[in-house]
Amino acid sequence: METLKFADMKLSSEILQGIQSMGFEKASPIQSMTIPLILEGKDIIGQAQTGTGKTAAFGIPMIEKIDKSNKQIQGLILCPTRELAIQVAEELGRLLKFIPEVHVLPVYGGQPIEHQLKSLRSLRPQIIVGTPGRIYDHIDRKTIRLETVHMVVLDEADEMLNMGFRDAIEEILKFVKDEAQTVFFSATMPKAILHLTKTYQTNPEHVQVARQQMSAPLIEQFYLEVRNDQKIDALSRLLDLNHTKLSVVFCNTKRRVDDVVEHLERRGYLVGGLHGDLKQRDRDRVMGNFRKGTVEILVATDIAARGIDVDDIEAVYNLDLPYDEEDYVHRIGRTGRVGRKGKAFTFVVGREMNNLKRIGQFTNSKILPTKLPTVTDVEENKANQLVDKIKETIKAGGLERSISLIERIMVDETNSLDIAAALLKMLSEPKKRAKEAVEAPRDRVSDRPRSSTGNFSRGPSRDRDDRSGPPRRDDRGRDDRGPRRPSSEGFRRK
Ligand code: ADP
Ligand code: MG
């Protein structure tokens, strides 16, 4: 579709400067369609995949509508996870670079509430970005008041509902005045969202980025038929062949993440695991290392990966076929973000082929068959990379010291061909062990019994990731996992 230029959107010069400094050239389709409508004051229900620029789609008009001279909370954004809340707040912070009077504060579970109270008092933010559980806590304590809020955003609404935040969201929305503008974003539109729309929105415009315009076509999608016990081997061959810098491997269970991390670690990859059982501290460390590149392969469950917003992920591997189409869309959306290219590989075992077909139809995308690379393919590819690197090094020059060293060896040793060959051999062998040495302490809970069989034939097991089962407390406090059921007391419509 025709996308708009930000300059044609009747935006203030301060925000245009902010957008400019972020390097955005033109608005993405969802931004082109929603920003003008939101500026007009319309309630919106927006549907678009991950990586389509939804944050700025609601962030830009929200910022435009903030009364700078007023220090009360005017905008509220609800996100499913702490990571996402932080990322949204950061993106808004960048947009606000030239509007110092407006402040944004992320408020999420897991962070000490006293700390948040201090920030709320000292920063006086006009925009709050938070996870539903913790926002509700603050409302309950009367430390956040929503009477002055005139715009509410639900970001990744489907995901928040999946995580069991429905009650918390509804309770929060009840505290917002009826006239407030509401903007709901969701990759999918399950019934529960339509219910929220009916109850809390006024004549909402349903804006949908058609599938063909979504970022999916930029992602090349492949599938491989394997046996369960071949998966890890197949994965490492693909990792070696593709030679990607950053990639994400998806598993269906937390257990499986631990297993895969262990296996890949043993094979010398720079790998980190991410799932709901890890302490927040560990999750932050893994993500930090992934951003820095000291972890190159992130192994994650669906929920844990929701907050991953790293732009240069080159490949996604679905080691386990996701259970539903939506997860597939979310997973592959981790690569190919806004205009970049990416590849997605999905392993299918036996009858799972039928599910894959369904996923292909749902996402309206071509998932092409590909063969497991042979060991020779991988070796050849590695050799080619090495040859390229050698050529580059020669071209770059500055080899004088090395040459004089070689000359010293050549005084009593063989010929230069032998020396070069020996160096090559040394270069390709101990590398993996060196990698292992720099790897950070293992990123996983260590007190759980782990299978040592090394095969993965458990099949779709019951310990599916975070979303199933009753909400429970974990070490991050009650938020991000499932809401606390609001007691009937304490919730009163004004
Ligand atoms: P979504 O919420 O739809 O998954 P994000 O809002 O997180 O997507 O945006 C994904 C990435 O694209 C971010 O790094 C963001 O800064 C960038 N981005 C957003 N809008 C644009 C744009 N108009 N041009 C270029 N990059 C953009
Ligand atoms: Mg988003």
Tell me the per-residue pLDDT of 56-92, one tens digit each, with 9 for 90 and over. Answer: 999 999 999 999 999 999 999 999 999 899 999 999 9
| 215-375+446-453 matches 6-213 in CATH topology | yes
Residue 452: per-residue pLDDT: 37
Which alpha helices (H) appear in 346-430, and where do they start and end? Answer: 352-363, 375-396, 400-412, 416-428
Residue type, 113: I
Residue 494 to residue 480: CA distance in whole angstroms: 27
Q: What three-state secondary structure class fits 5?
A: coil
Residue 118 to residue 127: CA distance in whole angstroms: 16
Tell me the per-residue pLDDT of 230-246, one tens digit each, with 9 for 90 and over. Answer: 999 999 999 988 888 89
Residue 381: per-residue pLDDT: 75
Tell me the per-residue pLDDT of 354-376, one tens digit each, with 9 for 90 and over. Answer: 889 888 887 777 899 998 888 78
Nearest to 52 by CA among 340, 360, 301, 366: 340
Among 73-77, 255-259, 446-450, the least confident range = 446-450
Pocket lining: 306 vs ligand 1, CB cutoff 6 Å: no
Residue type, 63: I
- Give the closest residue (by CA) to ligand 1 atom 20: 53
Of the residues 6, 330, 338, which should be mutated to test ligand 1's pocket, given the most ligand atoms within 8 Å of the CB?
338
Q: How far is the CA of 50 from the centre of ligand 1 (A)?
A: 9
Q: How far is the CA of 54 from the centre of ligand 1 (A)?
A: 7
Domain ranges of the chain: 6-213, 215-375+446-453
Answer whether CATH 3.30.450.20 is correct for domain 6-213: no
Q: How far is the CA of 53 from the centre of ligand 2 (A)?
A: 7
Please state the pTM of the whole predicted model.
0.55
Angular region, 171: left φ>0, alpha ψ -120 to 50, beta rest: alpha
Residue 1: per-residue pLDDT: 56
Average pLDDT over residues 371-385: 79
Answer whether CATH 3.40.50.300 is correct for domain 215-375+446-453: yes
Of the residues 1, 55, 291, 334, which should be mutated to test ligand 1's pocket, given the most ligand atoms within 8 Å of the CB?
55
